[in-house]
Structure 1
Amino acid sequence: MDKASVDYTLYLVTDSTMIPANKTFLDQVSQAIDNGVTLVQLREKSLLTLDFINRAKETLQLCRKKGIPLIINDRVDVALAVDADGVHVGQDDMPATLVRKLIGPDKILGLSCGIPLEMEKAIEEGVVDYVGFGAMFPTKTKKDIKLDRFGQGPIGIRRLLRTLEKHNSSSERKIKCVAIGGINQSNAAKVLYQLNTPTQKVDGLAVVSCIMAAPDAAKATKDLIQIIHTPAPWTQALTITKEEPQSLENKIKTVTAKSPLVHHITNGVVKNFSANVTLAIGASPIMSEFGDEYEEFASTIDNICLVLNIGTPSPEMMNLFKHALQTYNKYGRMILLDPVACGATQARLNVVKELLNYGQVNVIKGNIGEISGILKLTSTYKQANGNEEEVLMKGVDSIAQLNEDDIISTGKQVSKDFKVVVVISGPINYVIHQDRYKSIPGGHPLMGTVTGTGCSLGSTIGSFIGAQADGRNKDKFDVYEAVIGAVELYNKAGREAAEEAKGSGTFMVKFIDKLFENTHNI
């Protein structure tokens, strides 16, 4: 078999302990192979050697019929005994260099890597054909995973991908990679989307239980193949346009015409104010923490946005956040994340890390302290920055001291790594998407004296992106342009309200009035 032509797209790792009661091991593997699996790894931790060899022979026969490789996990002796196509080893198994000597140059050799140092060593040794990155998500079978402080999920694994990217961009001997660990139909699109840099992407997904334990392995395999070959739902309505930006007036007209639903899962302090801001600009707010209705929201309402505000996190709220993320991602609906005070404590940054690993958001909005906190999660942070323990916030207020170039650079890094539009609020607001950015004058210092003005900017952005209000009214829209419109409107109303207000109390009322006037009197 030509190793260079091996297709790693859907890589099945077997586990005979997961087989449903009315199925057999060979039934599950055969259905998977017949319906799209491109490579099989036979993993048997408890079989005696002779039984392992017999199972390998049966599995190899199935693979040969479809012309796909069979890899044996760990056991070089079994692989040689049945003339399998290769061997996969872990960090605590036989060293990869010794395995290569035993199996020769023509067999496939794979190695599990969980941290960048392991990836660097694999590159230096130069004997493996592919690496397995993981565990991507927690699993019941992998409890001894070596992890750096970035942990599991796309955030941790992207750092390994960057290491591989450097090697593959400069070496003739390319190394392939697959993601493994807890991957299934609910998160496969997220993994593929996030593990894809401009010059390096993950070559395949390695799965176990979602096929081996499936009541219908054929359907489970077909579903995965469809997910792999279909653009992620949240990308289907997005574009980067080269057209001239539309006027704020056109964007506002779209919001008021479509009256989008803005679903808030937010902290109790700001619910009332956020709802009033949403209503004032012609959108419709709902403050729902009733998970049973999220599927109905996301599946039936076209103009909708989910606003996740982590102001008062708790284990119960985290479960709700993740349920909402998964549901809205399933239908490709817009999501804004407000990472309140994530630059202040490691605990809050961990909340943001868990959410960004779990689901894909479209916009991240925060002050420079919060966005600088998220910068610590990016795959290039350690090489580009110094003090990882720097305090960036005091409570919910940013105390980070950065010049404009540093602010824009921070926003670009977060935008590129997480594939989002970034909004950095402050005296000057910055809207950033990849290499595009726009600076927008802030509102007024009085805005900082009213609880909820920061959070309700998220409500305004949610209204604009939920309505797809880039001013063009086409099938695809530019999230970046819609966000610019929301930030411009919000700060314009703040400046106008401050001109008439006597203090923070009257400002709050005037601010709502000015939002209404600027959206309904055009």
Structure 2
Amino acid sequence: MIEVDYSVYLVTDSTMVPESSTFLKQVEDSINNGATLIQLREKKLSTLDFIERAKQVHELTKQKGIPLIINDRIDIALAIDAEGVHVGQDDMPAILARKLLGPNKILGVTCSNVEEAKTVAEEGIADYVGLGTVYKTNTKKDVKDPEGTGPIGIRKMLQVLFKYQKDTGKKIYSVAIGGINHSNANKVLYQCSIPGYGLDGLAVVSCIMANEDAGKATRELVEIILSRPEWTKNITETRSKCQLEDKLKSLRQNKPLVHHITNNVVKNFSANVTLAIGASPIMSELPEEYEEFASTIPNLSLVLNLGTPSSNLMEVFKHAIKVYNKHGKHILFDPVACGASKARLECSRILLNTGQVSVIKGNVGEISSIWKLTSTYEESTGNQASLMQGVDSIADLSEDQIIEIGREVSIDFKTVVVITGVNNYVIDGYTFEKIKGGHQLMSYITGTGCSLGSTIGAFLASAADGNFKSTFNVFDAVVGAVELYNLAGNNAGKVSSSPGTFMTNFIDQLYSMSVAQ
């Protein structure tokens, strides 16, 4: 079997070639500038014309020593002695394809869900799988999920492949396909991985085949694939373990701006909390200004609160995530009441598939619902009972269970998890802090949970880990925000007799601890 580099996998499409170029020129320019594997996909050519085109492409790939994969047509692959074949779920069965190809040719199979990945693993005859579609794409119309399986679905399939490798000692390689381009390539590689296992490459179509300069497009794609996503730059796992006062100094010095896309019920309270700790709030649902925000404001974060979702607001959410990811700005996601209905959990799935968030904050019921989206969650063994009543958690879990669920969410989504309640848990993988909750009067005021998100957002925007260095530890900053918020709540509760007086005293406490020092 030949050595295969799956990293930059070009799937051809002759219908996309710009007028200024030709099909063969697009392929040749890509091969000469970094493409490592070519799949020839032709759905409408006659057999004779397909053979002729395959011969021409094969001459180009052989010159560079890279494999040529023929999509679906085993007869074409055998006719020109191509290195391999890729079959979809509706094409020839993989077992029969292997019999016809023999043991020494490359065989790839499309997988769009866990069951298909399990079948490939059970057969154990494929060399690689194409996982997807990742995102919505115009090149494939007949897909089971028009919006794409997203990184969440890819990770679930990677768990199947990882188990196969551990059980057999053999590896089935994997590439992601569907809607991948220069804007999201390194994000896909970052998000589509599980501990100890990740993708071997990305399959792309239009971002090269439709580009006026296929060579340049390929070079830039290779560079992006080899680079770190913007939001990971300057992030360190080394904890500073600074005191809260050091973190508040960072907050005061940087005067952060917190962009809220939140529900109407809590906007005023969230804005007042943000101001009380020395940050500035902005409530904007105007997508046209997000690029300007994210590209020009240095100490900026986004608080995305699912609160009152709608079809229009979902599009605003998705656009904001993409823009903030592009510029490496931190995002806090608050999946309000995501366990109250299937529709809300689906909204959370879509948003978490759209991009990377730095923090997921919720009560036990909300985080337990997000846990159902992880690659390690199994329907047959997981808790199927309702975890929420409206926005309130009704999950009855032990502390160990809460921490384990938070840990699995944190690891799968590569994020810091905050679980609120009588005790608060800040979890980053196997690191966690337990922080005593604020005061019982907080439960009588709408928005106290949401405005914790505002406080965390301010600490994120100002890199307030207390370290005063070029690197930033997200976990330390989040711990500081949760400590401040709950300490202020506890202090306010001691001098309050009712929810009304508590609200005023709480804002005063936040101000006195954060600004009036």
The reply to whether TM is greater than 0.5 is: yes
- Whole-angstrom CA distance in 2 between matches of 1:308 and 1:220: 33
Task: Tell me the amino acid that sits aligned with residue 311 of structure 1.
Answer: G
Q: Is the 8 A contact 1:461 1:487 kept in 2?
A: yes
User: What is the CA–CA distance in structure 2 between the aligned matches of 1:399 and 1:210, rounded to whole Å?
Assistant: 47
Tell me whether 1:421 sits opposite 2:416 in the alignment: yes
- Counterpart of 2:491 in structure 1 is 496
What corresponds to 1:480 in structure 2? 475
What corresponds to 1:302 in structure 2?
298
Which residue, 44, 67, 73 being the options, matches 1:69? 67
Amino acid at match of 2:255: S
**Cα RMSD between the aligned structures?**
1.6
Partner of 1:163: 160
| Residue number in structure 1 paired with 2:78 | 80
- Per-residue deviation, residues 464-495 of structure 1 (Å, max 9, x unmatched): 01111111011111100100000000011111
Describe the SS at the equivalent of 2:50: helix
Report matched runs for 1:389-408 at 5 Å. Answer: 390-408=385-403
Do structure 1's residue 50 and structure 2's residue 48 form an aligned pair? Answer: yes
Is 2:132–2:148's contact at 8 Å kept on the other side of the alignment?
A: no
AA of the residue aligned to 2:160: T
The one-letter code sitting in structure 2 at the alignment partner of 1:475 is S
Q: Please tell me whether the aligned partners of residues 186 and 326 of structure 1 are also in contact (alpha carbons under 8 angstroms).
A: no
Aligned twin of 2:37: 39
Partner of 2:100: 102
The answer to whether residue 355 in structure 2 is matched with residue 359 in structure 1 is yes
Deviation for aligned residue 1:21: 2.6
User: 1:384, CA displacement in angstroms?
Assistant: 7.6
Contact preservation (8 Å) 1:57, 1:82: yes
Which of 195, 201, 205 is the matching residue for 2:202? Answer: 205
**Aligned partners of 1:375 and 1:381 also within 8 Å:** yes
Q: TM-score, normalised by structure 2?
A: 0.97
- Do residues 317 (structure 1) and 308 (structure 2) align? no
How much has 1:379 moved relative to structure 2? 0.7
Whichever residue aligns with residue 430 of structure 1, its letter is Y
**What one-letter code is carried by the residue in structure 2 that aligns with 1:93?**
D
Cα distance, 1:79 vs. partner? 0.6
Q: In the alignment, which residue of structure 2 is the partner of 1:441? A: 436
**Matches of 1:118 and 1:290, distance apart in 2:** 41
Q: Matched residues in 1 for 2:512 and 2:429: separation? A: 33
Cα pair 1:169 1:199 within 8 Å, conserved: no
State the alpha-carbon separation in 2 of the partners of residues 487 and 427 from structure 1: 13
Q: Which amino acid aligns with 1:104?
A: G
| Structure 2 residue aligned with 1:121 | 119
Q: 1-side partners of 2:314 and 2:362: how far apart?
A: 19
Identity of aligned residues (%): 60
2:219 aligned residue: 222
Q: How does 1:256-335 map to 2 (within 5 A)?
A: 256-335=252-331
Q: Matches of 1:109 and 1:21 in 2, distance apart?
A: 33
**3-state DSSP class of the match of 1:422?**
strand
Using the TM superposition, give the Cα deviation of residue 171 of structure 1 relative to its aligned residue in structure 2, in angstroms.
Answer: 2.4
Q: How far apart are residue 387 of structure 1 and its match?
A: 3.8
Which amino acid in structure 1 is aligned with residue 326 of structure 2?
K
CA contact (8 A) 1:189 1:227 kept: yes
Using the alignment, how far apart are the partners of 1:249 and 1:39 within structure 2? 54
Pairwise CA distance, 1:248: 0.4
**Whole-Å separation in 2 of the counterparts to 1:266 and 1:38:** 44
One-letter amino acid matched to 2:318: K
Quote the Cα distance in structure 1 between the aligned partners of 2:445 and 2:206.
50
Could you tell me how far apart the structure 1 residues matched to 2:21 and 2:420 are?
A: 56
Matched AA of 2:205: V
Match of 2:453 among 442, 448, 458: 458
Q: Which residue in 1 is equivalent to 2:237?
A: 240
1:392-419 CA distance string (max 9 Å, x none): 1111111111111111011001000100
CA–CA distance in 2 between the matches of 1:214 and 1:354?
29
- 2:239–2:476: 8 Å Cα contact kept in structure 1? no
- Of 509, 513, 516, the match for 1:518: 513
User: 2:412 corresponds to which letter in structure 1?
Assistant: D
Structure 1: state its 5+ residue gaps: none
Whether contact under 8 Å (1:263, 1:306) holds in the other structure is yes
Give runs of aligned pairs for residues 161-200 of structure 1, distance below 5 A. Answer: 161-200=158-197
Q: Which runs of 4+ in 1 moved over 2 A?
A: 138-148, 169-173, 383-388
User: What secondary structure, in the 3-state scheme, does the structure 2 residue paired with 1:23 have?
Assistant: coil
In 1, Cα distance between the equivalents of 2:135 and 2:210? Answer: 17
| TM-score normalised by structure 1 residue count | 0.96
